[in-house]
Structure 1
Amino acid sequence: MEFSLKQTIEILETTPFVIESYLLRLSKEWVENNEGKDTWSPYDVLGHLIHGEKTDWMVRINIILSESENKLFKSFDRFAQLKEEQNLPIEKIILEFKNLRKKNLAELASLHITERDLSRIGVHPELGEVSLQQLLATWAVHDLGHIAQISRVMAKQYVKEVGPWEAYLGILKK
């Protein structure tokens, strides 16, 4: 499948609703348990997504599209959510994510990105030159990866409980 801005936005628009429908009515145990030391719970993943909405995606898009000669991105703290308040109700952080994503997608639409814009370049502090198209594709795949991560973390809560069926459940083998 080739890159399509329209199809990328489909994923970006859908993610908040997937997460809301997935996590909103679950007990704290499902939302707050992780896979062990130095791993993230679904709550942590959602905090990470919120931090990205505030400090990463649109900031980098605007750097690429700016007229400035300096196209260097600031480093992104992938663990910043762990320094934030950890006792907010899941309903509150889901709503925050939905509102931030809605705002960012409205800003993205207002940029009227052209095919030519997609090839414009920014500079990632570790990866070097990256195009706007690559950044946008990464945003969508990043969402999908974290939705899969949430599923995996939750599935592993029952790794012992499934007994011998573990052999048939690939999600438990990672």
Structure 2
Amino acid sequence: MKLTLNKSIEILTTTPFVLETLLSQLSTEWLYNNEGENTWSPHEIVAHLIEGEKTNWMPRVEIILSNNQDKTLESFIRMDENKSYKEKSITMLLNEFNELRNQNTSNLKAKNIDQIKLNKIGIHPVFGVVTLSELIATWTTHDLNHIAQIARVLAKQYEDEVGPWKQYLSILKK
């Protein structure tokens, strides 16, 4: 599928509702367990998504669309280094994510992005030249990636409990 801003916004605006539906009624055991060492729990994944809303997506959109000569994009901090998210409940994190995402999608819509703007470039600190179109496609896919990750982390909690059915559950094969 070729990227259009409206199609991306469909996913970007839906993600907070998907996460709220999936996580808001779960017990702490579901929310704080992960897949093992150096993996994230659903609680941490939502915190990571919040960091992206604050420091990654729209700041990079702004740089690419700016009239500045320097189009270098800032490095993305994947997780709050102060770990302040740990003191927040999943409800607080989901509300914060929803508010930030609403602001960011509203700001994105207000940019009146057309094909010419989608072709504008920025300089990624690792990848080099990237387009606004690639950034928006990545933002959209990043959401879907973490929704799938959360589902996988949750499923992993019953990996040993499903018995012989494990062979039919592709989510447990990764």
Q: Using structure 1 for the length normalisation, give the TM-score.
A: 0.97
Deviation of 1:157 after TM superposition, in Å, equals 0.1
**Higher deviation after alignment, 71-80 or 57-66:** 71-80
Name the structure 2 match of 1:166: 166
What residue identity is the alignment partner of 2:166?
A: E
Partner of 2:34: 34
Query: Cα RMSD between the aligned structures?
Result: 1.0
| Equivalent AA in structure 1 for residue 25 of structure 2 | R
Q: 1:156 — aligned with what?
A: 156
Contact 1:124–1:130 (8 Å) recurs in 2: yes
* CA 1:81–1:93: 2 relative to 1, 3 Å: farther
Q: Which amino acid aligns with 2:84?
A: E
Q: In the TM superposition, what whole-angstrom CA distance separates every residue of 1:44-96 from its partner, at most 9, and x where no partner exists?
A: 00000000000000000000000000000111111336723302111111000
Task: Output the CA distance in 2 between the equivalents of 1:31 and 1:19.
Answer: 12
* TM-score normalised by L of structure 2: 0.97
Identity of aligned residues (%): 51
Mean CA deviation greater in 28-37 or 144-153: 28-37
Q: 1:46 & 1:154 partners in 2: Cα distance?
A: 14
Alignment CA distance shift 1:128-1:169 (3 Å) = same
Task: Tell me the distance in 1 between the aligned counterparts of 2:139 and 2:53.
Answer: 10
Show the 5 A alignment for 1:1-174.
1-80=1-80, 83-174=83-174
- For 2:82 and 2:143, how far apart are their aligned partners in 1? 19
Aligned length: 174
Q: Which SS does the other structure have where 1:123 is aligned? A: strand
Q: Which structure 1 residue ranges, 5 or more long, are not aligned?
A: none
Indicate if the aligned counterparts of 1:41 and 1:153 stay in contact, CA closer than 8 A: yes
Contact 1:72 1:122 in 2 (8 A): yes
The letter for the 2-side match of 1:16 is: P
Residues 13 and 85 from structure 1, CA distance in 2 versus in 1: closer, same or farther, beyond 3 angstroms? closer
1:51 touches 1:81 (CA, 8 Å); kept in 2? Answer: no
Conserved 8 A contact 1:44-1:81: no
- Following superposition, which runs of at least 4 residues in structure 1 exceed 4 angstroms of deviation? none
* Letter in structure 2 aligned against 1:118: L
Q: Distance in 1 between matches of 2:82 and 2:145?
A: 19
Could you tell me which amino acid in structure 2 is paired with residue 32 of structure 1? Y
